[in-house]
Structure 1
Amino acid sequence: MVRLVRALGVPVLLAGMIVLAGWTLGGIYDGPLLFQLVAGAGVASVLLAVAVRRLPSYADAPLSVLGLLAYLALAVWLSARQADIPGSLPEVAADAVANGIPRLLTALVPVEPQPDTVVIPVIAAWLAGLTAAELAGRAQRTLLSLLPPTLLYGGALFLVGPHRGGLGTGLIFAGLAIAALALTGTSAARAAAPDPVRTDRIDAVTRRALQVRAAVAALAGVTVIVAVAALLGPGLAGVVDKPPVDPRAYVTPPQLDALDQNPLIRLSGWAVNPTEHLLDTNLSADSAIRLAVLPDYDGVTWHVSGEYRPAARTLPSPPAPPAAAPGAEQAIAKDATVTQDITVVGLGGKLLPAVASARRVDGLRVSVDVDSGTLMLPTGLTPGMSYAVTSVQTVPDENTLPMADVPTGPEVSRYLAVGSGTLPERMRQLVERLAADNSAAYARASAIEQFLATHYRLDGGAPSGHALPNLDYFLFGDKTGYGGGKGTAEQFAAAYAVLARMMGLPARVVVGFHAKKGASQVLASDAYAWPEVLFAGVGWVAFDPLPRPGQQPEPLEEQFKPKPEPSTEPPSQEPLPTESVSASAAVPSGSGGSAAAAGSVLPMVGAGAGGLFVLVLAGLLVALLVARRGLRRRRLDEGTPADRVAGAWLEVSDALRLAGQGSPQHLTAAEVAAFAGEAAAPPGRKHVRLPAPRLDDLAWLVNAAEFSAGRLAEDDAHRARASATAYVGELRARRSWWRRLIWSIHPGPLRWHRRG
């Protein structure tokens, strides 16, 4: 019964450690599937290793690979079915294996269990379980077998980062490791038995030298521990309360192309072709479909900025709005759900249109920028692509919104920047005039909206551009000139956002489309831009500075009229990209592009080849180590007592050859024992060691096994094992550092013509 517990207890504990690693990693996944797959991989690999333990070691690897492939296919099929991933099983599996690591590191928490986010944890769990079971079973190295599950658990903690974690799981993991070591420890009775090979008497000089050596070593160890604690202690204590590092911060997520960096300039192109068919939609309510959010302005260009990370079908909620100041009036807002079925017709780029704020996307695997809530498709939009979106809009109460204030602080500074250049004087005067008549934040925002809608004309043929000089000309230029007093939605939204920022209102620009309830077509004429202002306790509120259809602009007040001298035309703009221009046109061509591509590919190829070489070398070393341990186990622990005595003798013979002092073939057992004693003779004055164990008793047992094998008992086999292991350990300890390094992985004993 005790032997059964020892044989099965360690594999069960190792499997439990892998299950705990899967539980830890599953904390950042959406649903229990990842935990179930990792736990199943750990248990299945350990059971397979136990089942094939009696088979030859060369049959272990093929069976393990077949088991891994079968289980991996099951994991890919289950995760693909749950995530509705289209494609055949081989195609999905190949894509998952090829892109598993980058997608796992860039995925947004909570991670959806998809083929590309589960294959790497499943493979790691299988290899950890198999390696641990082999080391504990064939090699009988329990301490070393704890390393693979520990590395797996450490990797899980690293991936989880600051999102999840607890002390309880770590304590249970450590308890399982301690139990495995205790289960395979030497029994008290066996430890108390006298050592048959340590019969040499130690003289007083050697004993005194050993005592001095032990005292010096202990003192040196204590000194090192105290020094390390003094040097590293304060630093380690300072990081105890810090959150763990998030590995996703060091991985570059998918990036937008040039077409999507500033979608605001696409409005003029769409205005030139108003009948261009962009989308087919079916909405549950009239809504504005959002394409892009542009939060950053440098005085020249509004542009998109954010981190788009792969997300599950269920998207995270948008960040909570800044809290209102204590004692301030609270504005009231309510949520409204809008469902959308969208089919792409002529819209290009990577940005994915959806009503704000999207909470679930079906039919596509999207990336999301959490701060803005906008969506991106890394592979790009293609005609005929369909998807469904469920969004939750925050609708503020118009009766309480006028009481809302705007937030302040460094977290909103990016929404107040207007570039580093000098602001046009007339824009400063306009801001001062509007702010003087309106003190409340919402009143100032409404005043800008009313001013633009009243005094300017919407013109689809107006020139593109939203740099500060362009906006100054749009606001105050000669209305008979090209662009003065008239503009597209680009100029209206950009001018509003800049004026709001100059007035202290956090603002941004949004590009999107008008869409009606029910089934409808979205044309280029439905594209427009609008500004949004951030209010404390409410969030982003949209404003519409466009004039109403048929409305005639009113003249500006006297102080804002253009001066008599001729006004200059706005600075020339770069050629306007339109929808008819291919998105790939922005990519430079020619030898420069090829050289850049080659320069970026060659390091990746070199790194991949180097990594593959390291993996192959590590696999070879592990295979040699396992094979050597298996050979030793078969020699010392399997067979009759006579076979194990002979195996112990072979261990000694191989050790002599590994030490570079192989015994001559013509020597008898007694002569080999004497030769071995000389090979491991006590060192000179430079080192102080105990005398090497003698092999006279083992030589006598070898002769007995040769001539009267049937008379040997189990105790004789144990004596032979103890003599051989004690001598081999001492012989190895007296070799040079490089011989000790390659001792356990030397392939010689596997090919030398020996028994066992």
Structure 2
Amino acid sequence: MSRRLPILGVLAAAVVAGLLFAPLFGTAAVLWPMLAVAVVAYLVEESILHRPGLARWRVPFTLVGGVVALLAVIPGAAQRPVSLWEAVTSGWRRTLESTWPASPVPDLVAFVPVLVLLACLIGARVLQRSRLLALLPAVVVAGLSQAYVTVTGVDAVLAGLALTACCVLVMAQWGSWARLVAALAAMAVAASTLGVALPTSSAVHLPKPSPPDSPTVLSNPLTEIAARLHSPDTVVFTARASGPVDRWPVIALDSFDGVTWTAAPKFQRLGRELPLDSHVTVPVRRQSADVALADWSLPWLPSQSRTLSVVDDKPLLVDPASGALLADQARPSQYRVNWAEPTVDVDELASAGVDPDLRSGDDLGEVPTGIDELARGIGGEVRPSFELALVLEKYLRTNYKLATGENLPTGHGYAQLNYFLLHSKRGTSEQFAAAYVVMARLLGLPARLVVGFKQPDTPSPDGTYVIRNRDVLAWPEVAVTGVGWVPLDPTGTATSTTSKGGLAGAAETVRKNLPSTKEIEREHQSEPNLPAPKAQSTHHFPGWAALLIAGGVLVVVLLLWLLGVPLAKAVRRRRRRRHGTLGAWAEARDLLRDHGIRVTPAATARDLARDSDGAVSQAMTLLAGCLDRALWSGQDSDPDREFAWSAVRKARRGLAEGRLSQRIRTTLSARSLIG
């Protein structure tokens, strides 16, 4: 069993290191393939223990067995064995291009168990020469995992303790269990302290690039609204949802240069599921819908602002910031989209402030004076809040008309917005939404423009909603604290009757009970603590955090000194015992040096005996005789090695008869280690 423990430790360390990739694919997706290759590696090593002649076949047996195990364990790998090669050559890069957790397809996930297989193979081979170096492949795998995603806090502590346990298995044949326990305590304390004290910001991550085939130039759906309204009966897509749906966003536009609204999405391959929006702190309700495309000419796909996942047989790209979906290669004919719908209390929404952390693209270019004055006049003294967003929406609803008929206005630059707001007061949802977002940002509201489709009020007999060109729509969204982006309806025609119970329904209820602007102003003046936009400030590293980290580093250094110095001396003493009498002579010299006795390079054992007294002098005299026989007797053996080491123990006991404080200082002295 003593020969198997180190092998088990090396294999277990490789599996633990591979588990640090779990945030990339999920624990189950990487655990079973790694266990499979570890079992194969152990069976090979067990066979070598019984038949040492098989050691020459270690590499081919392990590699072939590991590949067969991966083909059997990873779903879908057996149908396409070449996916394992693709995982090794490019899977690591395409995983970086994906959202996490990534889809556990063979050509992505297999690169993790392949790394573990190589770590098991190399570690088992190196184990024959050095136990400590046998753990190096597992350490390399663990370091590579941290380049993808950093493990911190409790997870880091558990990982450190697990690797420590593996190290104990590898080093389990140390001469004394006391030394083993000391090493375990030192490594465990170091792993725990570093896992808690080390700041996440110190980690160096591999950059997450966009897929190389991501499109750089895309059509802007905002410019197609008027053209679609000229053929209103054309079916665009159909949808069947599990809950209330108000609109189907296609793309969110957040940058405006005075002429064109644009977006700069950072595409990634859509993984298994997107994380929940961190800005949404209210409860959410998961919903899903089956979408079937009909006459669809855009590369963008209808989705939801808080998309979680898409079930489809074709690869898709996603912009995690906005949830916009894009067909990677061929557009799917149908797919299922899952999303999270915030459920917010009406009263909470009515009193909510805005979320300045979601503010983006505030550069509006050179705003015409008339538009700026109009915005200031509408907002009055109302502070940035959801109520102010509704005040602005109400003004557009009341004073402007939605254009219908043949001659529909087009364009959303300042020339068109100035004519719409100050002269014609007639426009499509394109002008309504663009004008709203510009004036909202002038009033301090974080807003963006979204293009998509309204869901009709009435479904087909089979419960499917048919979305046509007449349902095309542009609308503004405002970032609300705790809720995220909330869609608004400045045209007064966008909100669907099917959205009752959803976020749009809650906004409609607040809208109906909205007080007058004067009442809102008086209310805000009487509530000075109403949330306001955060001022731009420089983020400084907290002083208490710096002190905590500095304290943690000092604690680590202190623990390494208290445990590391005695441990290093114990390891050194163990190694010296292999050299018999000569090792005892080196140990005696360092022992005297740690007790403050001057030991020159030319000093002999008899010189040190004359300079000492009592038990120490007797011990050095005995060691001198053993040393003479070992050096000058001409014998190849070392018959006095045990007598020499008994003399060292006698000298140690003699030196330990001093005061307790002196013995502690001697034990912790690193003089002989660095001298």
- Range class of TM-score, shorter chain: 0.5 to 0.7
Residue of structure 1 equivalent to 2:432:
492
Q: How does 1:271-670 map to 2 (within 5 A)?
A: 271-284=229-242, 285-321=244-280, 335-364=284-313, 365-382=315-332, 384=333, 386-408=334-356, 411-414=357-360, 417-419=362-364, 421-436=365-380, 441-453=385-397, 454-459=399-404, 461-462=407-408, 464-477=410-423, 479=424, 485-516=425-456, 517=459, 518-546=463-491
CA contact (8 A) 1:23 1:35 kept: yes
2:114 matches 1:123: yes
Distance change (3 Å), C-alpha of 1:242 and 1:153: closer
- RMSD over equivalenced CA pairs, Å: 3.8
Structure 2, unpaired ranges of 5+:
178-193, 495-630, 638-675
Residue of structure 1 equivalent to 2:199:
241
Residue of structure 1 equivalent to 2:507:
none
Distance change (3 Å), C-alpha of 1:272 and 1:92: farther
Larger radius of gyration: 1
> 1:501 is matched by which residue type in structure 2?
R
CA displacement at 1:169 relative to structure 2: 2.2
> Within 2, Cα distance between the matches of 1:307 and 1:315?
14
> Within 2, Cα distance between the matches of 1:367 and 1:467?
29
Q: Which SS does the other structure have where 1:355 is aligned?
A: coil
CA contact (8 A) 2:310 2:335 kept: yes
CA displacement at 1:124 relative to structure 2: 0.6
Q: Deviations over 1:639-665 (max 9, x none)?
A: xxxxxxxxxxxxxxxxxxxxxxxxxxx
CA displacement at 1:129 relative to structure 2: 0.6
Q: How does 1:199-218 map to 2 (within 5 A)?
A: none
CA displacement at 1:123 relative to structure 2: 0.7
CA contact (8 A) 1:76 1:93 kept: no
CA displacement at 1:175 relative to structure 2: 4.3
Residue of structure 2 equivalent to 1:688:
none
CA displacement at 1:259 relative to structure 2: 5.7
User: Which of 228, 249, 263 is the equivalent residue of 1:270?
Assistant: 228
2:61 matches 1:63: yes
> Within 1, Cα distance between the matches of 2:349 and 2:373?
27
Distance change (3 Å), C-alpha of 1:541 and 1:144: closer
> Within 1, Cα distance between the matches of 2:286 and 2:4?
55
Q: Deviations over 1:559-609 (max 9, x none)?
A: xxxxxxxxxxxxxxxxxxxxxxxxxxxxxxxxxxxxxxxxxxxxxxxxxxx
CA contact (8 A) 1:267 1:528 kept: yes
CA contact (8 A) 1:275 1:525 kept: yes
CA displacement at 1:97 relative to structure 2: 4.7
TM-score, normalising length: structure 1: 0.55
User: Which of 85, 94, 108 is the equivalent residue of 2:99?
Assistant: 108
Distance change (3 Å), C-alpha of 1:98 and 1:514: farther
> 1:121 is matched by which residue type in structure 2?
V
Q: Deviations over 1:114-150 (max 9, x none)?
A: 323321111111111112112224xx34343222122
Q: Which SS does the other structure have where 2:454 is aligned?
A: strand
Distance change (3 Å), C-alpha of 1:335 and 1:697: closer
> Within 1, Cα distance between the matches of 2:305 and 2:327?
16
User: Which of 163, 169, 172 is the equivalent residue of 2:159?
Assistant: 169
TM-score, normalising length: structure 2: 0.62
CA contact (8 A) 1:319 1:370 kept: no
CA contact (8 A) 2:402 2:429 kept: no
Q: Which SS does the other structure have where 1:340 is aligned?
A: strand
> 1:391 is matched by which residue type in structure 2?
W
CA contact (8 A) 1:349 1:381 kept: no
Q: Which SS does the other structure have where 1:166 is aligned?
A: helix
Residue of structure 1 equivalent to 2:26:
30
CA contact (8 A) 1:294 1:303 kept: yes
Residue of structure 1 equivalent to 2:6:
10
> Within 2, Cα distance between the matches of 1:89 and 1:257?
28
Q: Which SS does the other structure have where 2:3 is aligned?
A: helix
2:9 matches 1:19: no
Q: Which SS does the other structure have where 2:238 is aligned?
A: strand
Q: Deviations over 1:527-571 (max 9, x none)?
A: 21110112224332211122559xxxxxxxxxxxxxxxxxxxxxx
> Within 1, Cα distance between the matches of 2:264 and 2:355?
21
Greater Cα shift, 19-28 or 425-434: 19-28
> Within 1, Cα distance between the matches of 2:21 and 2:402?
57
> Within 2, Cα distance between the matches of 1:31 and 1:146?
23
CA contact (8 A) 1:15 1:46 kept: yes
CA contact (8 A) 1:103 1:117 kept: yes
Residue of structure 1 equivalent to 2:215:
257
Residue of structure 1 equivalent to 2:505:
none
Distance change (3 Å), C-alpha of 1:47 and 1:297: farther
> 2:439 is matched by which residue type in structure 1?
L
Distance change (3 Å), C-alpha of 1:487 and 1:185: farther
Number of corresponding residues: 472
CA contact (8 A) 1:513 1:527 kept: yes
CA contact (8 A) 1:298 1:418 kept: yes
Distance change (3 Å), C-alpha of 1:487 and 1:455: closer
Distance change (3 Å), C-alpha of 1:530 and 1:254: farther
CA displacement at 1:427 relative to structure 2: 0.4
Distance change (3 Å), C-alpha of 1:531 and 1:91: farther
CA displacement at 1:354 relative to structure 2: 1.8
Structure 1, unpaired ranges of 5+:
81-86, 188-235, 323-332, 480-484, 550-692, 699-714, 716-756
Distance change (3 Å), C-alpha of 1:160 and 1:36: farther
> Within 2, Cα distance between the matches of 1:149 and 1:262?
49
CA contact (8 A) 1:271 1:461 kept: no
2:133 matches 1:144: yes
> Within 1, Cα distance between the matches of 2:375 and 2:213?
36
> 2:277 is matched by which residue type in structure 1?
P
CA contact (8 A) 1:41 1:125 kept: yes
Q: Which SS does the other structure have where 1:513 is aligned?
A: strand
Distance change (3 Å), C-alpha of 1:303 and 1:697: farther
CA contact (8 A) 2:59 2:121 kept: no
Distance change (3 Å), C-alpha of 1:405 and 1:173: closer
